Copies of this chain bind each other. A is one copy, B any other.
């Protein structure tokens, strides 16, 4: 019989690969009883650690991967700047992978990392990602991984987020204070953490102001800007059209402006608009846009810093923590009376 792998040991012992791997590395996370069981079987089966795999884990690539939905978005491009600033300081190289919001592509990308091409991973998941097995698989290989902005709640690792719930709450409260009676929430994903947190903040604010939550006011948009434009136009053509709109991601903003212009609806007179965006042109739009701006650069920087903190440790283990960096509400004419 050849050299058994950690997988075979795990199967025999009915343990996860991660647990066996941690037991072999004498991790404090594993009980002594389990460690003894693992070591006994490893000896019995003549388990020899794979030296190639082990050398691959020793930060030989000096490369980190950044997996994100898109680059042509001011949040992500500013986050890359933050990541790059830290990586450059550490003498690391940055591989960029774009999922274009596709779950299949995200899985294929992560699968490649198992070969040891990168020392660590920073990821903001796609709008389609509803299952995190592909991420857990990579983490189990001992490759440290940190989430930023869009996270999977069920993967035990570090995550850098912004206060999406509070931002959704504040955006909604602001529209209510400006006199809106019917507020639509434009979402891009039913499964995405950020979308859901912003939406929960929206619902909570409505309730706090004794307004009814109507599921039909929550509009699921897509990845296609022309389709979104039509969706928004249809929404605004309705007899019971909203008088306030929250665009929960940047790329939905232009569609609202376009649709309003086509339908001769005045922003903010007929429809008030607030967007989650880092667009530097928000100020010079017609009318200037009220925004929730995320601390993109800071989030990128913080995520990279936590990843390097793990890489600086012998174990490469990422400390489980959630760092929240608050967003900023900037009021401009698009929500003015």
Q: Using A71-B71, A72-B80, A93-B95 as known contacts, list a sample of 10 further A-B pairs with CB atoms less than 8 Å apart, ordered by residue number in A.
A: A70-B81, A71-B81, A71-B84, A77-B77, A80-B96, A81-B98, A254-B281, A281-B281, A281-B285, A285-B286
The secondary structure that dominates the A interface is mixed
Task: Please give, as numbers and ranges, the residues of chain B lying within 8 Å of A280 by CB-CB distance.
Answer: 225, 254
For this chain, the copies found in one complex come to 2
Q: Which A residues contact B (CB, under 8 angstroms)? A: 63, 70-74, 77-78, 80-81, 84, 93-98, 117, 225, 253-254, 257-258, 261, 279-281, 283-288
The 7 listed contacts between A and B (C-beta, < 8 Å) are A71-B71, A72-B78, A81-B98, A95-B95, A253-B281, A257-B283, A261-B284
In the assembly, what is the distance between CA of A257 and CA of B284, in Å? 7
Option from B71, B225, B284 in Cβ contact (under 8 Å) with A254: B284
Task: Please give, as numbers and ranges, the residues of chain B lying within 8 Å of A96 by CB-CB distance.
Answer: 80, 84, 94-96
Q: Which 10 A-B pairs rank lowest in CB-CB distance, beginning with the nearest?
A: A286-B286, A257-B284, A72-B77, A71-B77, A96-B96, A281-B281, A71-B80, A93-B95, A284-B285, A77-B77
Tell me the minimal C-beta distance from A130 to chain B in angstroms.
23
Task: Please give, as numbers and ranges, the residues of chain B lying within 8 Å of A285 by CB-CB distance.
Answer: 281, 284-286
Are the C-beta atoms of B81 and A72 separated by less than 8 Å?
yes
In the assembly, what is the distance between CA of A94 and CA of B225, in Å? 26
Task: Please give, as numbers and ranges, the residues of chain B lying within 8 Å of A93 by CB-CB distance.
Answer: 95, 97, 117
In the assembly, what is the distance between CA of A287 and CA of B285, in Å? 8
Task: Please give, as numbers and ranges, the residues of chain B lying within 8 Å of A74 by CB-CB distance.
Answer: 72
Minimum CB distance partner of A118 in chain B: B93
In the assembly, what is the distance between CA of A287 and CA of B286, in Å? 7
In the assembly, what is the distance between CA of A308 and CA of B279, in Å? 34
In the assembly, what is the distance between CA of A93 and CA of B66, in Å? 12
In the assembly, what is the distance between CA of A95 and CA of B95, in Å? 4
Minimum CB distance partner of A281 in chain B: B281
Minimum CB distance partner of A91 in chain B: B112
Are the C-beta atoms of B279 and A254 separated by less than 8 Å?
no
Are the C-beta atoms of A95 and B94 separated by less than 8 Å?
yes
Tell me the minimal C-beta distance from A298 to chain B in angstroms.
14
Tell me the minimal C-beta distance from A307 to chain B in angstroms.
16
Tell me the minimal C-beta distance from A121 to chain B in angstroms.
13
Option from B71, B94, B117, B286 in Cβ contact (under 8 Å) with A288: B286
In the assembly, what is the distance between CA of A70 and CA of B85, in Å? 12
Tell me the minimal C-beta distance from A89 to chain B in angstroms.
12
Task: Please give, as numbers and ranges, the residues of chain B lying within 8 Å of A287 by CB-CB distance.
Answer: 286
Task: Please give, as numbers and ranges, the residues of chain B lying within 8 Å of A73 by CB-CB distance.
Answer: 77
Task: Please give, as numbers and ranges, the residues of chain B lying within 8 Å of A254 by CB-CB distance.
Answer: 280-281, 283-284
Task: Please give, as numbers and ranges, the residues of chain B lying within 8 Å of A283 by CB-CB distance.
Answer: 254, 257-258
Find the residue from A71, A94, A98, A283 having the highest chain B CB count within 10 A: A71
In the assembly, what is the distance between CA of A150 and CA of B209, in Å? 54
In the assembly, what is the distance between CA of A229 and CA of B9, in Å? 64
In the assembly, what is the distance between CA of A79 and CA of B9, in Å? 47
Tell me the minimal C-beta distance from A255 to chain B in angstroms.
10
In the assembly, what is the distance between CA of A225 and CA of B72, in Å? 20
Task: Please give, as numbers and ranges, the residues of chain B lying within 8 Å of A279 by CB-CB distance.
Answer: 281
